[in-house]
């Protein structure tokens, strides 16, 4: 079975053996405060720094999901208000989750074909700026965050990179909190999230001093200072992360490959209009590198999904507003060249 679903997505093929190894090595039964477990956690964190070029002064934490990271940001890093820029379902959901916890949630929505402008929030007081770098629902991305960083230099900038972390290179200094879950570009089974915090984010956490919850950021940080977690974690996930990170190239190399593949996908749909299909987003500055959204009529999309299914290929369904008129193709690193060729052959 071949899957292009953008999450949960294809896991790296070697995960099969690593799961077996974890079982045989007894990793599945180790105590989460043991030296052995701490070593696995420490190693995974070091590898994340090394392979994803995360600055040494940024701290890394494991949580349960990206959704949990939304809540941690609202609980532990926001005193009064957060400002959410979004053009799709995940950005909107984040604002919804925040609004249950945070007093004031400002929503700044923009059109799918639009590059979000900092001007939209210039007169607002921005305490925590929430950006969805890669909007998985419609295949768009905010390519450059530097204007946000420059304009909102005093604010905490939180960035959802759930469907881009591990796929493309990110400029860490443009954000204070970055988070993702492992079932997308990292090619692992679902069930774990990764949070990356700048020193400024931790200062803000100290200022707010939230210690009310099991997942209050400061409590998480105290545990991770010992390479431990704030609850009994899924050690298998951490073990697999370790193994897969050891295997992969540095993100700069992966990023080059993913961006080239993305360009090839966009050219493919622009050059082959015999199905009447086109890219949902035409503006190349906002087309996502990791999630390709393709648009057609409801009948066309249905027919293509049926055709690929017969060949054992799963495409990503459209999401939200675009449920019936788009399909999505994950352009994640675990997907292999032969799988892409096979899909292109069927689509021709």
Interacting residues with ligand PLP (CB under 6 A): 7, 65-67, 90, 132, 136, 160, 162-163, 181
DSSP per-residue codes, 181-246: ETTSTT---SS-EEEEE-HHHHHHHHHHT--SSTT-HHHHHHHHTTT--SS---HHHHHHHHHHHH
Strands 278-279 and 81-86: unpaired
Q: Is 59 helix (H, G, I), strand (E, B) or coil?
A: strand
Q: How far is residue 171's CA from residue 181's CA, in Å, rounded to a whole number?
A: 18
C-beta of 52 vs 158, nearer to ligand PLP: 158
Q: Is 217 helix (H, G, I), strand (E, B) or coil?
A: helix
Q: Is 313 helix (H, G, I), strand (E, B) or coil?
A: strand
C-beta of 18 vs 86, nearer to ligand PLP: 86
Short-list 135, 128, 127, CA closest to 110: 135
Length of the chain: 348
Nearest distance from C-beta of residue 96 to ligand PLP, angstroms:
12
C-beta of 97 vs 265, nearer to ligand PLP: 97
C-beta of 73 vs 347, nearer to ligand PLP: 73
Short-list 91, 71, 74, 70, CA closest to 82: 74
C-beta of 268 vs 290, nearer to ligand PLP: 290
C-beta of 37 vs 95, nearer to ligand PLP: 95
Nearest distance from C-beta of residue 74 to ligand PLP, angstroms:
14
Nearest distance from C-beta of residue 192 to ligand PLP, angstroms:
8
Nearest distance from C-beta of residue 301 to ligand PLP, angstroms:
20
C-beta of 68 vs 169, nearer to ligand PLP: 68
Longest distance between any two alpha carbons in the chain, whole Å: 60
Nearest distance from C-beta of residue 39 to ligand PLP, angstroms:
26
Nearest distance from C-beta of residue 12 to ligand PLP, angstroms:
18
Q: Please count the other Cβ atoms lying within 10 Å of the Cβ belonging to residue 312.
A: 10
Q: What is the DSSP letter of 123?
A: T
Strands 291-295 and 326-330: antiparallel
Residue 187 near residue 237, CB atoms below 8 Å: no
Residue 187 near residue 333, CB atoms below 8 Å: yes
Nearest distance from C-beta of residue 186 to ligand PLP, angstroms:
11
Pull the structure tokens for residue 314: 């799963």
């Amino acid at each position: 079975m071949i899957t292009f679903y953008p999450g949960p997505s294809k896991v790296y093929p070697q995960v099969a053996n690593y799961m077996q190894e974890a079982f045989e090595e007894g990793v599945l039964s180790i105590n989460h405060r043991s030296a052995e477990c701490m070593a696995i956690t420490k190693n995974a964190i070091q590898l994340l720094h090394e392979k994803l070029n995360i600055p040494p002064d940024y701290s890394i934490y494991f949580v349960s999901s990206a959704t949990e990271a939304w809540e941690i940001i609202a609980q532990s890093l926001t005193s009064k208000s957060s400002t959410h820029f979004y053009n799709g379902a995940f950005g909107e959901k984040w604002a919804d989750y925040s609004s249950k916890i945070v007093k004031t949630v400002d929503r700044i929505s923009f059109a799918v074909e639009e590059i979000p402008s900092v001007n939209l929030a210039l007169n607002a007081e921005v305490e925590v700026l929430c950006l969805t770098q890669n909007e998985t629902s419609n295949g768009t991305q905010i390519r450059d965050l530097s204007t946000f960083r420059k304009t909102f230099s005093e604010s905490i900038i939180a960035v959802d990179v759930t469907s881009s972390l591990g796929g493309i290179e990110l400029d860490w200094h443009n954000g204070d909190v970055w988070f993702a879950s492992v079932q997308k570009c990292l090619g692992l089974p679902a069930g774990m999230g990764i949070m990356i915090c700048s020193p400024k984010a931790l200062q803000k956490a100290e200022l707010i001093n939230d210690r009310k919850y099991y997942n209050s950021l400061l409590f998480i940080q105290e545990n991770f200072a010992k390479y431990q977690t704030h609850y009994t974690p899924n050690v298998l996930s951490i073990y697999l992360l370790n193994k897969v990170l050891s295997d992969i190239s540095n993100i700069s190399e992966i990023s080059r490959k993913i961006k080239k593949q993305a360009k090839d996908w966009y050219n493919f749909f622009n050059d082959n209009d015999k199905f009447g299909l086109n890219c949902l987003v035409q503006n190349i500055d906002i087309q996502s590198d990791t999630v390709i959204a393709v648009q057609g009529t409801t009948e066309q999309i249905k027919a293509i999904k049926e055709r690929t299914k017969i060949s054992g290929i799963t495409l990503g369904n459209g999401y939200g507003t675009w449920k019936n008129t788009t399909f999505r193709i994950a352009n994640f690193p675990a997907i292999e060249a032969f799988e892409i060729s096979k899909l292109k052959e069927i689509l021709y």
